[in-house]
């Protein structure tokens, strides 16, 4: 049964955040709010967590998982960024974007697109996520909480708790969450491609 954490949207309680991070470090899978919508998250390298996300969302091996990072220093450890891409990312983060980029060797193979060796990265603007990442000290391996056959992601903590109670280990509910997935910007082949239009304004990349 998933533990339920009701936290303040702009000043999340440190004790609750520490308890959630303990769950993550113990190979747990959590549902947490972001500036776009709820996401499923686990610790980097948690192979069981990746498989659980795949089962919940019915994903194949071509799915791009996302590393949710606290800042550029952290992000730069996991993806290759040239100067042009760096400027584009710097101008639009933190924000409601996921960027697809070539992965470094720091990224577990299970996370990579099998052919392109790429991974998604993002730096969200949400106090709860910031607190989680600060306490954890590393990125969260994440995927949008969009269930099979559903057009819209789940956006209410109590609904997620009820729906996924025996499939995840914790739900963070801050009452403040976006309702759209991120806009996905793909830099894989040296050109900018918009793979998905979502919460982030795609105009800067067109």
φ, ψ for residue 111, nearest 5 deg = -85, -20
Q: Quote the pLDDT of residue 190.
A: 73
Residue 122 scores a pLDDT above 90: yes
80 closest CA partner among 63, 104, 61: 104
**pLDDT tens digits for 123-139?**
999 999 999 999 999 99
Pairing of strands 97-102, 39-43: unpaired
Q: Quote the pLDDT of residue 114.
A: 72
**pLDDT tens digits for 12-56?**
999 999 999 999 999 999 999 999 999 999 999 899 999 999 999
**pLDDT tens digits for 160-206?**
999 999 999 999 999 878 788 999 999 987 789 999 999 999 999 98
Q: Quote the pLDDT of residue 101.
A: 94
Domains and CATH numbers, the chain: 3-205 (3.90.870.10)
């Amino acid at each position: 049964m998933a533990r339920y954490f009701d936290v303040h949207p702009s000043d999340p309680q440190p004790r609750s955040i520490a308890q959630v991070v303990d769950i993550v470090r113990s190979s747990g899978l959590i549902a947490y709010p972001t500036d776009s919508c709820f996401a499923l998250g686990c610790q980097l390298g948690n192979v069981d967590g990746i498989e659980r996300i795949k089962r919940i969302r019915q994903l194949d091996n071509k799915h791009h998982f996302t590393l949710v990072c606290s800042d550029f220093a952290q992000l730069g450890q996991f993806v290759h960024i040239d100067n042009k891409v760096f400027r584009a990312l710097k101008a639009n983060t933190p924000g409601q974007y996921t960027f697809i980029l070539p992965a470094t060797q720091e990224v577990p193979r299970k996370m990579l697109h099998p052919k392109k060796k790429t991974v998604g990265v993002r730096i969200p603007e949400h106090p709860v996520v910031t607190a989680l990442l600060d306490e954890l000290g590393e990125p969260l391996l994440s995927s949008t909480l969009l269930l099979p056959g559903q057009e819209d992601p789940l956006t209410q903590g109590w609904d997620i708790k009820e729906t996924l109670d025996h499939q995840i280990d914790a739900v963070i509910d801050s009452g403040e969450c976006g309702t759209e997935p991120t806009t996905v910007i793909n830099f894989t082949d040296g050109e900018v491609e918009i793979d998905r239009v979502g919460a982030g304004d795609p105009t800067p990349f067109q």
